[in-house]
A and B are shown apart, each in its own frame.
Chain A
Amino acid sequence: MLRKSLAAMLIGSALAVSPALSQQPPPAFEPRDETPEMYPDHPNREETFYFCIACHSFQIVAQQGLSRHRWDEVLTFMTERHKMPDVQGDDREKMLDYLSSAFPERQQRGWKNPFAPQ
C-alpha cells in the first residue's frame, strides 16, 4: 500500500514540475541526491525514505529526535498543513516504527522533568 501511494505521489509531482523544467535555465541550486543508505538501517527504511522525499529532503527528517507519539503528531501535521497523503493502518505503523527507532527522542541533558510523559 505504502509503495502504491508513494508511486502515485512521485508520478503526480513529476507531472507537475516537468513542463516548467523543460523551458527553464538550470536552477541556482540543485539539491544533491540522497539514498536510504545515508540514514540509520532499521526496518521500513526504504518505504519511509521514498515516501518523505517525494516532497522534501530526508535531512529535515533526520534532524528530528522524537518519541513515537510525537512522530505520529508530525505525520498528522504534515497531512493537515502540507496535504501529505493521510497514511493509516499498517503503513503508518511501519513508518512510525522506522522514524521512532532511527530518530528517537533525544535524551535531555542534566535536569530531568518529573512531569515528562513516559
Chain B
Amino acid sequence: MARRRERSIEEMYAEDAERADAVAFGRRADVSRRGFLNGAGLAAMSAAVGGTIVHSATMPGGLIPAALAQEAKKAPEAAAAAKAPQPFSFPGKDPGLTLLGERPLVAETPEHLLDDETTPFSKFFIRNNGQLPDPPAQPDTWELTIDGEVNSPLKLTLGELKKRFAEKSVHAVLECGGNGRSFYTPSARGNQWTNGGAGCAKWTGASLAEVLKAAGPKSSAVYTAHYGTDQHLSGDPKQLTLSRGMPIPKAMEAEALIVWAMNDEALPNIHGGPLRLMIPGWPGSLSHKWLNKITLRDKEHDGPGMTGTSYRVPIQPMVPGGKPDSKNFKILESMPVRGIVTNPANGAKLAAGTRELALRGAAWAGDNSVKAVHVSTDFGSTWQPTQLGAPRNRFDWQRWTANIKLPSDGYYEIWVRATDSQDRMQPHVAPNWNPQGYGGNPMHRIAVLVG
C-alpha cells in the first residue's frame, strides 16, 4: 500500500537541490547558479527564513539557508528526539552544552558559548570513552609510572611530581579528533560533533619532556603509549578503553604537559583529574585523562585507538561512502585550521534598522598558527579581513573581531574562513571523506535576521 509521507526539506534538497528550490520556494537560479532568476522564489524563501535575503543576488542555487539547515538536520530524528531525554545536566556545567550521549558522557559546546578568551570549566566540552572513574579521596597520592624504553623507570605520586618538577602553564586548545564530524556526507560514524568539541583553557602542570628525561629515555624509544584508569564500558577490567601515543619529538615539545590544574583550579574529575596529559595541537585523545602510566616504545604504538581507521585520515582521497583500504590511511597528527563565530549566535535577531554588526570569534590551527580570518556576508562571493589577535603562547587560539555592514533589514548569512600559517584555508565542505570522519573543518556558517 502506497503511503504518502511528508518529506523534510533536507530530503528534498538531497534528491535534487535545484528542484527543491523550485518546489519549496518557487526559486530558479540564473545560469551562474547564483541569485534568483526574475526574483522567482525570493519572496517565498525570504518568508521561510523570516526576512529579506539581502545578498540574494549571489546566493547559490540549491543552498538550504543556514536558518533552515539547522532545523532540517534535526528533522529525521524528530520523532525520536521528542521522546528521548535531551537536556544536558551536570554539576557546574552550562545547561546550554549539547548532549551527544550519556554512556559514555559526551557533550559539546555550541559555538556561541566559546565566546570567552579562556573557556571556563562551565562551558568546556566533555568527551569520555569509558566509565567515569570516581575521584580519589587523596589526589596527591595518585601514582604515575614511566616505563618501557627508559634507563630508570619512575613511579611518582602527584605530590612528588608537584615538588620535583617546575610548574608550567600554557593556554592551549584541546580539541576532539572528531571535531566537525557531523559535516561529512555521507555521514561518518561516531559522535556527531559540530565545531564544539573544542575549548581553550589554561593548563598547569609539569613539562612532559622534563619528566620523560628524568626517566632517561633509551635511544630505542621512538613512540609513547598512554594509559588511564577509566574502565571500558563493557565493565571488562582487562579491556582498555583507549590507549594512544605519539612520536617522541611531539612528546618533547615545550608545551606538552602533565596537567594537574585547569584554569587555576585542581583539574576536575570530569576532565581527567587529578592527572592528565595535555598534548596541544593534536587530537584530544592523546591528552589522556586519569593518566597513570606512560610507556616509551621502540615502535609505533598499537593500542586501542591507534589502528584501523580510528584517528586516521586517507593518504589519497577515497570515494565518499566507499570501502576503506587500511593501507591508504595515516595517523591524524596536527588538527586542521578552524575558525568560528562566537558572537552573535546562529539565529540571532537584531533590531530593525541595525546597519552594522560587531562580530567576535576564535580560530586555531593544530600545530600551526592562524594567519588570517575572513568573513563573508554574501555567501562567499566577497570576503573581508578581520582583526586577528596574537596567541598568548603557541597552541593558544586566536580571537578575532570584525564589523560588518548590513545594508538593509533582512536575512543574512555570515560565513567565516580561517587560513593557517601554511596558507591552508578552511574548505566549503568537509574534506577528504573517511568512515570515522576525521579532519572535518568546513567554514562555520551562521544566520542572523535584522528586523
Q: Which residues of A contact B (CB under 8 A)?
A: 9, 12-13, 16-17, 24-25, 27-29, 31-32, 34, 37-40, 53-57, 59-60, 62-67, 70, 73-74, 77, 80-83, 105-113, 115-117
Contact yes or no, A60 B100, CB < 8 A? yes
Cβ contact within 8 Å between B101 and A24 = no
- Residues 184-203 of B, flagged 1 when their CB comes within 8 A of A and 0 if not, give 01110101100000000000
Complex alpha-carbon distance, A66 and B186, angstroms:
8
Does B84 make an interface contact (CB < 8 A)?
yes
Give the docked Cα–Cα distance between A111 and B135 (Å): 49
User: Which residues of chain A come closer than 8 Å to B63, judged between CB atoms?
Assistant: 110
Q: List B residues 195-252 near A (Cβ within 8 Å).
A: 232-237, 239
Determine whether B407 belongs to the interface, using a CB cutoff of 8 Å to chain A. no
Chain A positions within 8 Å of B104 at CB level: 56
**B17 CB-CB contact with A under 8 Å:** yes
A59 to B84, CA, bound (A): 8
The reply to whether A38 and B83 form a contact with Cβ atoms under 8 Å apart is yes
Known: A32-B102, A57-B102. A109 touches B69 (CB 8 A): yes
Q: How far is the CA of A14 from the CA of B103 in the complex (A)?
A: 15
In the complex, whether B388 has a CB less than 8 A from a CB of chain A is no
Q: Given A29-B105, A31-B103, A80-B308, A116 and B321 touching (CB < 8 A)? A: yes
11 new A-B pairs (CB below 8 Å) besides A65-B187, A106-B187? A16-B235, A17-B235, A28-B132, A40-B79, A54-B234, A63-B100, A70-B186, A81-B310, A82-B232, A108-B186, A110-B62
Q: Is the interface of B mostly helix, strand, loop or mixed?
A: loop
Do A116 and B186 touch (CB < 8 A)? Answer: yes
B-chain residues with CB within 8 Å of residue A115 when the two chains form the complex: 319-320
List residues of chain A with CB within 8 A of the CB of B233. Answer: 55-56, 82
Within 8 A of A (CB), among B63-80: 63-64, 69, 72, 76-77, 79-80
Q: Would you mind naming 16 contact pairs between A and B with Cβ atoms under 8 Å apart?
A: A12-B235, A13-B235, A17-B235, A31-B105, A40-B80, A53-B103, A56-B103, A59-B100, A59-B102, A70-B186, A74-B189, A77-B189, A107-B13, A109-B185, A110-B17, A113-B321
Name the B residues within 8 Å of A34 (CB-CB).
Answer: 84-85
Tell me the complex Cα distance, A115–B323, Å.
13
Q: Which residues of A contact B189 (CB under 8 A)?
A: 64, 66, 70, 73-74, 77
CA distance A74 to B308 in the complex (A): 12
Q: Does B6 contact A (CB under 8 A)?
A: no
CB distance from B103 to the nearest CB of A (A): 4
How many residues of chain B are within 8 Å of chain A by beta carbon?
Answer: 55
Interchain CB contact under 8 A, A60 and B321: no
Given contacts A63-B192, A66-B187, A105-B186, contact A83 B234 (CB under 8 A): yes
Q: Is the CB of B270 within 8 A of A28?
A: yes
Interface centre among B13, B187, B239 (most CB of A within 10 A): B187
CA distance A24 to B236 in the complex (A): 18
Q: How far is the CA of A92 from the CA of B157 in the complex (A)?
A: 47
Q: Is B325 an interface residue (CB 8 A)?
A: no
> B64, B84, B429: which has the most chain A beta carbons within 10 Å?
B84
CB closest chain-A residue, reference B61: A110
Q: A31-B105, A83-B236 given as contacts; is B14 within 8 A of A108 (CB)?
A: yes
- On chain A, the residues within 8 Å of B187 by CB distance are 64-66, 105-106
- CB of A88, distance to nearest CB on chain B (Å): 19
A67 in contact with B308 given A40-B80, A55-B234, A110-B64 (CB within 8 Å): no
Residue in B closest to A30 when the chains form the complex, CB atoms: B102
Interfacial chain B residues near A60, Cβ < 8 Å: 100-101, 106, 191
Residues of B within 8 A of A38 (CB): 80, 83-85
Neighbouring A residues of B320 by C-beta, 8 Å? 113, 115-116
Q: Which residues of B contact A27 (CB under 8 A)?
A: 132, 134
Given contacts A16-B237, A110-B62, contact A57 B101 (CB under 8 A): yes
Hey, which chain A residues are within 8 Å of B236, CB to CB?
12, 16, 83
Q: A38-B83, A64-B189 are contacts. A109–B14 as well, Cβ < 8 Å?
A: yes
Q: When the two chains form their complex, are residues B321 and A109 in contact, meaning their CB atoms are under 8 A apart?
A: no
Mask, B362-404, CB within 8 Å of A = 1, is 0000000000000000000000000000000000000000000
Within 8 A of A (CB), among B277-315: 304, 308, 310
List residues of chain A with CB within 8 A of the CB of B102.
29, 31-32, 57, 59
* Residues 83-134 (chain B) with a chain A CB within 8 angstroms: 83-85, 90-91, 99-106, 132, 134
> Which of B101, B106, B191, B322 has its CB near the most chain A CB atoms (within 10 A)?
B101
Contacts of A109 in B (CB 8 A): 10, 13-14, 17, 64, 69, 72, 185
The answer on a CB contact under 8 Å between A106 and B64 is: no
Looking across the interface, which residue of chain B has its beta carbon closest to that of A16? B235
Pairwise interchain contact A62-B135, C-beta atoms closer than 8 A: no
- Report if A106-B80 is in contact (Cβ < 8 Å); known contacts: A70-B189, A117-B319: no
Known contacts A29-B105, A38-B84, A108-B185; A83 and B239 CB within 8 A of each other: yes
Minimum CB–CB distance for B78 against chain A, Å: 10
